[in-house]
Amino acid sequence: MASAPFDLGPVTGRVDREGRLTEADSALLRLQEEAGSSLGAPLALPQVAAVARSAIKLGVPLARSVVAASSDRDLDLWVRAVPDAEGASLTIEGWKARPAAPPRLTLVTNESLDVEERVARPLSFTTDGELKIKRIDEELALMIGVAPADAIGQPLTRHFLLVDNGDGAMPLLMALVSRADFSGQSAQLRGQDRESLVTLKGLALRTAGDRFDGYEIEIDRPAEMDSSPFAVLDPALDEALRSPLDRIIAAAERIVDRSEGPLRSDYAAYAGDIAAAGRHLLSVIRTMSEQEAAKGDAEVDLASTAAEAVQLVEEAAEKRSVKVELVGADGPLPAAGESRGVVQILVNLLANAVRHSPASGTVAVILEQRGAQAAVTVADEGPGIAEADQERIFERYERADDSKGGIGLGLAISRRLARSMGGDIELQSEPGEGARFTLLLPSA
């Protein structure tokens, strides 16, 4: 259905500095009421309110096209907001109606929103007392090449070939004798090569009468089992996130270019931060969804990418009173690599360093040439990392401690990105003496 114009002419209104609708012509008031609000209450049309809020914050008139929803249709509007001491005056024109659009993010279910919980959950299955499968995760069933319903009732040894630990011992069979828990049982997936070894860990189940009732068994996910080892973002959610991020970046860049009129330099700089953060988030999404792999056949200036990474973590550092210093960035430091991947790695290393630094501490970003390699080291004054943990923290879902922040993917993704560009990440640390993470790339 073609959009139909309203014969309204300009509609006016006012909002105060807190975003409340204080004056409104009848058409605007009707939209406010259909949105469940009223005169004197906050303006309940998000797109219109955003224009007014930006005009008030920036102190300049703004005008743009927006889409607002009425009770039964969408409205294409042209909104102009002129700020003053009390708030902003609104003039709304256009008023073209069109059928209401379907929900933009119906694909975002509770499951897809809770990405952290979903990716952290191990694969598992349940057996009865005779080690026959009673329940199996759908993803695990697909990995072993069987429909979940067909796996029910089959012995676990139909799909898992138990392997001894080198001295003839098999933890599962030893635990079965005493009906106890077990861990560290190696097994090979039937029909696959020996490189498909997994590790089983079982919790003994008991009935109300304390009779042995089988095992709840979890398996570690080896890299060989994952067709996309770091694809922790659902492709549909990835697609839904990209479009609004693209628009945010484009809008921020227009502000930086002052294409909508004169603007104070500090506001333009703030918009530059928004654009840089948006581009970084897009690179993270691409990596998590495996839509774009880093390549090592391009040239990147580590000095400029390090400066961009520092800019992206400055706010977090300021909140903790942590100072971030660039050392050796007087000139370019060329390396073979992909710039967005390098920024992603450095932002992750810097964010970790800031999070683990003491208040009023310093994080140093040191650039240097090391023979045939270019290096960027992020050094902090935090608690350091024990030698026993220095390889573990590069594995997925592993963290150095129980502090808040992250789910244990950042370092794993960062090392994979570095190696895909022909480089690596090294760690030097002693407990109590901070940590030094170094990104090494081939010199260009």
Q: Are 382 and 435 in contact (CB under 8 A)?
A: yes
Domain ranges, ordered by start, for the chain: 4-99, 123-220, 237-289, 299-442
- Structural element, H or E, at residue 307: helix 302-319
- Rounded CA gap, 31 and 44, in Å? 8
pLDDT score of 25 more than 80: yes
pLDDT value for 224: 44
Would you place residue 355 in the very low, low, confident or very high pLDDT band (cuts 50, 70, 90)? Answer: confident
Q: Are 217 and 131 in contact (CB under 8 A)?
A: no
Q: Are 43 and 37 in contact (CB under 8 A)?
A: yes
- Rounded CA gap, 21 and 19, in Å? 7
Tell which wins on pLDDT, 262 or 431.
431
pLDDT value for 375: 95
Is 123-220 in CATH node 3.30.450.20? yes
pLDDT value for 148: 82
Give percent of the chain above pLDDT 70: 68
pLDDT score of 225 more than 70: no
pLDDT value for 265: 60
pLDDT value for 82: 93
Q: Each residue of 175-188: pLDDT tens digit?
A: 898 889 998 888 88
Which homologous superfamily does the CATH classification assign to the domain defined by 4-99? PAS domain (3.30.450.20)
pLDDT value for 102: 46
Q: Looking at domain 299-442, which CATH architecture does it have?
A: 2-Layer Sandwich (3.30)
pLDDT value for 77: 83
- Rounded CA gap, 415 and 440, in Å? 10
CA dihedral of residues 311, 355, 399, 413 (deg, nearest 10): 0
pLDDT value for 248: 72
Q: Are 436 and 427 in contact (CB under 8 A)?
A: yes
Strands 435-442 and 373-379, how do they pair? Answer: antiparallel
Would you place residue 105 in the very low, low, confident or very high pLDDT band (cuts 50, 70, 90)? Answer: very low
Q: Nearest CA to 415 among 195, 278, 229?
A: 229
With b meaning 16 or more CB within 10 Å and e meaning fewer, what string describes 245-273? beebbebbbebbeeeeeebeeebeeebee
Q: Which stretch of 115-124, 157-166, 357-366 has the lowest confidence by average pLDDT?
A: 115-124
Q: Which stretch of 92-96, 106-110, 266-270, 410-414 has the lowest confidence by average pLDDT?
A: 106-110
Q: Nearest CA to 303 among 410, 411, 379, 375?
A: 375
| Most confident of the ranges 28-37, 55-64, 173-182, 238-247 | 173-182
237 three-class SS: helix
pLDDT value for 437: 92
| Most confident of the ranges 171-185, 232-246, 366-380 | 366-380
Token pair for residue 123? 């694969």
pLDDT value for 404: 44
| Most confident of the ranges 60-64, 115-119, 358-362 | 358-362
Token pair for residue 178? 């005493």
Tell which wins on pLDDT, 278 or 130.
130
pLDDT value for 161: 85
pLDDT score of 409 more than 60: no
pLDDT value for 39: 92
Tell which wins on pLDDT, 181 or 408.
181
4-99 and 123-220 share one CATH topology? yes
Would you place residue 441 in the very low, low, confident or very high pLDDT band (cuts 50, 70, 90)? Answer: very high
Token pair for residue 253? 């860049």
How many CA within 13 A on the CB side of residue 296? 14
pLDDT value for 440: 94
- Rounded CA gap, 415 and 344, in Å? 11
Tell which wins on pLDDT, 112 or 194.
194
Which residues, including other chains, have CB under 8 Å from residue 296's CB and lie 6 or more apart? 336, 337, 338, 420, 421, 422, 423, 441, 442
Sheet holding 373-379, edge to edge: 323-327, 362-370, 373-379, 435-442, 424-429
Would you place residue 376 in the very low, low, confident or very high pLDDT band (cuts 50, 70, 90)? Answer: very high
Q: What angle do CA 387, 389, 392 make, to 5 degrees?
A: 135
